[in-house]
Structure 1
Amino acid sequence: MNRAPGLSVRLKLTLSYAGFLMLASVLLLAVVWVSILRYIPDEVTFGFPLFPTMRSDPLNGFSLPAAVMLVFLLVFGLVGGWILAGRMLAPLDSITAATRLAETGSLSHRVALPGRSDEFRELADAFDAMLARLEAHVAEQQRFAANASHELRTPLAITQTLLEVARNDQARGPDELVDRLHFVNTRAIDLTEALLALSRADQRSFVPEHVDLSLIAEEATEVLLPVAEKRGVTIETSGDIAPALGSPALLLQMTTNLVHNAIVHNRREHGRVWVTTSADPGEVRLTVENTGEPLTAALVATLAEPFQRGSERTRTDHAGVGLGLAIVKSIVGAHDGTLELAPRPGGGLLVTVRLKPSAAPPSAAGETP
């Protein structure tokens, strides 16, 4: 940003404090001068008595006004210094607010301090330029991921079709190589779809709608019920109406990923999954917990990172693509929520999603899951 040259902050503070010191000195001299005038003889003042009740001891007459004036100057200096410091440091509050917004992932905000150039404005301009470069870099990465995913979908789909034709060809008979290629291609398709979903969530390109997390949890559970039955896992869904504001499609994908993750990373026999929703005046919560092997806090802290499956949780029959919880984290961040992962004391994982509540009534929030 091009700014007109101005005084430096250091010079402004110097002049401000010097001005306050000069003002305090003038007030002090005025009190001293008035106190001295009380003891000047009347003939010196051309016969006009300034203070008819003049005291004989100048020291007694000056001590009380001086003490009062010192107290006044102390209070005046503290209040004035506090106001001046606040005005001088106000630009730092704007920079701090922008930094906290950037910490949450919002890179579109700018400080944009008005006024002439000084140290604070130069710092704000440099910070705005850094945010602009970061935003452009992140947007470029997101576009690349989205474009790469789109470009990979077509050849992978064609390959998948050819492999399915080869597997169903009765004249070929069983072919282990074709089965392995089919498995690898399926995993490549899953990875491509996961990358595409991750890029869409990062871009926050959705129109917020009123949704009910309890209905979304029920829908995700019904979709994944055959998978749970196949693995011998029991799913229990409970909770209250949880109205939130966001993308129904992304929130459904978030919940589906969490429930699917809880199913596949569970006990081999008699596994259980609990899906619970709740609402408070300040937030709505979706909780998904499951049984399983004991997990360490260090391992749980890495599970939401891309391609971090956790070797202790990986099943031989379903390794996944390592983006399930990463997509969940991205979707939660796109909705300005929080994601908490914690190991269950008896084994397994406890996942809690906290979102901002919707202002709409529960009935309106639950119409379109």
Structure 2
Amino acid sequence: MSARLKLTLSYAGFLMLASALLLAAVWVFLLRYVPDGVNTPGMFGPNRSDLERAFVPKAAAALVFLLVFGLVGGWMLAGRMLSPLTRITHATRLAANGSLSHRIGLEGRKDEFRELADAFDIMLARLEAQVAEQQRFAANASHELRTPLAITQTLLDVARNDPDRDADELVERLHFVNTRAIDLTEALLLLSRADRRSFVRESVDLSLMAEEATETLLPLAEQRGVTIETSGDIAPTIGSHALLLQMTTNLVHNAIVHNRPEHGTVWVTTSVDPRNVVLTVENTGGNLSPQLVSTFAEPFQRGSKRTRTDHAGVGLGLAIVQSITQAHDGTLSLTPRDAGGLRVVVRLPAASPRPTGTPAATSTSASRVT
């Protein structure tokens, strides 16, 4: 049975039940004022037998009419009530066939059907955006993975055609290309893991993540003459220790390699508010336009107008940061600094309010980095 037929029978059944109860009430009311037995001489008015002959046929006819009226009216009313579901079903079938651009666009007052249709439209919009992003990502990933393979093939062809070529140079170049391919593959796997949210959640302190990432990248900062300053409060959140450490490391590494050629600075701070913990990473550098900054979190966007170095990466650093942030129900914002450079702010849900009087996290002294 279709939903429309079920609703029709429900409406008609309810109408028949209400009508039967009403007629029963009328019958009981009339019986109170009609004497039983046969009329006696000198008395006027009907007795119960007369009432039955007059009332029952008309009551039966009324019930038959109400049954027909309930079925017809219920069918029409059910069709009107279920018409939004027909549009939603049509949109669902189009989406199942791959057409994600269709929208229901249900008009009228805001009721349960309107909320369902609006939620479905939002879902379709997100699916369309995700599919487009995945297609673009797959195309970029295929191109990026094909590049080291093509370079390797070229090097091997040259070596085969030139037996006298220096083998050590060939091995060194092959090692460099292979390392880049491994880095890219690991970055893609990490990005996929963050998108799937397939990780164990535990209590994590972002201030400790900042310290660990800074300690790990101190040699790189020293090599480039970059000063790193870390400070802030204990910032507890819930998430994956490995992914959040990777997120923080990516941000600090990005701030180091895209900095001034010398005497650059990186600021890493953590803070808390009633609902969120905040990780902020800023660096010095050239002036950046908001339009350029808005593309930094897209996969394989290396920021061509930023300072290029031999640590250019695979173009997934900030894309991984964004995926990890979204997987932890947080937000990522990138803004250019007025004095040059980039300011990155990650907001994650706080695990619990920070107790009063909790000391700030230990800072990494700037004097440790030259």
* Cross-structure match for 1:355: 348
1:301 matches 2:294: yes
Change in CA separation of 1:5 and 1:318 when aligned onto 2, cut-off 3 Å: same
- 1:227 alignment partner AA: L
1:250 matches 2:243: yes
SS of the equivalent of 1:250 reads: helix
* Cross-structure match for 2:47: none
CA distance in 2, matches of 1:338, 1:7: 47
* Cross-structure match for 2:218: 225
1:239 matches 2:238: no
Structure 1 residue 184 displacement after superposition: 1.4
* Cross-structure match for 1:322: 315
TM-score, normalised via structure 1 length: 0.55
Structure 1 residue 175 displacement after superposition: 3.4
Structure 1 residue 127 displacement after superposition: 3.3
* Cross-structure match for 2:203: 210
* Cross-structure match for 1:50: none
Contact 2:210-2:268 within 8 A present in 1 as well: yes
- 2:352 alignment partner AA: A
- 1:177 alignment partner AA: L
* Cross-structure match for 2:274: 281
Structure 1 residue 248 displacement after superposition: 1.0
Contact 1:262-1:288 within 8 A present in 2 as well: yes
Contact 2:260-2:307 within 8 A present in 1 as well: no
Structure 1, unaligned runs of 5 or more: 13-87, 96-117, 164-171
CA distance in 2, matches of 1:184, 1:288: 31
- 2:342 alignment partner AA: L
CA distance in 1, matches of 2:348, 2:112: 39
The number of equivalent residue pairs is 237
CA distance in 2, matches of 1:282, 1:122: 28
> Quick one: percent identity of the two aligned structures?
77
* Cross-structure match for 2:4: 5
CA distance in 1, matches of 2:350, 2:312: 35
CA distance in 2, matches of 1:287, 1:306: 21
Change in CA separation of 1:126 and 1:210 when aligned onto 2, cut-off 3 Å: closer
CA distance in 2, matches of 1:251, 1:338: 13
SS of the equivalent of 1:236 reads: strand
Match of 2:305 among 281, 305, 312: 312
1:345 matches 2:338: yes
- Give the alignment's Cα RMSD to 1 decimal: 4.3
Q: What does residue range 98-177 of structure 1 map to in structure 2 within 5 Å?
A: 120=113, 124=117, 127=120, 134=127, 175-177=168-170
Structure 1 residue 174 displacement after superposition: 7.0
1:199 matches 2:223: no
Change in CA separation of 1:345 and 1:120 when aligned onto 2, cut-off 3 Å: same
* Cross-structure match for 2:283: 290
TM-score, normalised via structure 2 length: 0.55
CA distance in 1, matches of 2:5, 2:252: 59
SS of the equivalent of 1:268 reads: coil
Change in CA separation of 1:122 and 1:234 when aligned onto 2, cut-off 3 Å: closer
CA distance in 2, matches of 1:174, 1:293: 41
CA distance in 2, matches of 1:6, 1:240: 63
Change in CA separation of 1:205 and 1:255 when aligned onto 2, cut-off 3 Å: same
* Cross-structure match for 2:181: 188
Structure 2, unaligned runs of 5 or more: 12-80, 89-110, 157-164, 362-370
Structure 1 residue 208 displacement after superposition: 1.7
Change in CA separation of 1:119 and 1:210 when aligned onto 2, cut-off 3 Å: closer
Q: What does residue range 42-121 of structure 1 map to in structure 2 within 5 Å?
A: 120=113
Deviations 1:35-58 (A, max 9, x none): xxxxxxxxxxxxxxxxxxxxxxxx
* Higher Rg: 2
Change in CA separation of 1:5 and 1:275 when aligned onto 2, cut-off 3 Å: same
CA distance in 2, matches of 1:308, 1:280: 32
SS of the equivalent of 1:350 reads: strand
CA distance in 2, matches of 1:316, 1:234: 17
